[in-house]
Amino acid sequence: MAPWWSPHRWGLQRVFNLASPIVRPVVNFQSERRLKNALNIADLRHAAGARMHRMSFGYLDSGADDEIALQRATASYANYEFHYHVLRGLDRPVDLSTEFWGGEKINLPFFPSPCACHRLFHNEGETAVATVAAEKQIPFTLSTFASQNFQTVSNARAKGKLAGAEEPPLVFQLY
């Protein structure tokens, strides 16, 4: 049992949750403004760096060892320009669906890649990302070093799945 002076014993988190609707908009005002004004990946990276704890952002923004692979990947994309008029004139909504592995249909041609310890970045961890992936009907890959177990993430995906829709693949990264 926690000591008498512990905030966990008094349930202060419950009190803080009551104040959340008032406090959260004030605390998140700057972050939400930066996010709304972001035009490209560099702006999103800046917004994340300003919002996240330095250690968490450093982990997410870095590569392995001496970061040569990260530098090469970044440099290779510098050779491409995106022309935003490419999808102009197409009937809305544009169908971006494609087939995945064994011919399973997914709604988008990309999906979240595995990353260890999602709870460093969000209090709900992998379940938050897995739920959104299920809502959008795209695969989710759970890292070997996830902060939540496979069953918890699988249950969250089942809750996020749209009614009557097929559940997209849940992949486990094993190494």
pLDDT digits (tens, 9 = 90+) for 138-174: 888 999 999 999 999 999 888 878 777 777 788 888 8
Instruction: Give backbone dihedrals phi and psi of 133, rounded to 5 degrees, phi first.
Output: -60, -40
Q: Which of 4-8, 28-32, 93-97, 154-158 comes out lowest in average pLDDT? A: 4-8
- Mean per-residue pLDDT over the chain, rounded: 83
Q: What is the pTM of this model?
A: 0.69
20: left (phi over 0), alpha (psi -120 to 50) or beta: alpha
E strand or H helix that includes residue 100: strand 98-100
| Per-position b or e across 23-35, b if 16+ CB within 10 A of its CB | eeeeeeeeeeebe
Mean pLDDT for 62-75 is 86
Percentage of the chain beyond pLDDT 90 is 14
- From the list 156, 159, 155, 153, the residue with the least C-alpha distance to 141 is 153
Mean predicted confidence (pLDDT) in 52-61: 88
Rounded CA gap, 119 and 148, in Å?
9
Residue 39's contacts (CB-CB under 8 Å, 6 or more residues apart) are none
pLDDT band per the 50, 70, 90 thresholds, residue 83: low
Of the listed ranges 21-30, 124-133, 158-167, the least confidently predicted one is: 158-167
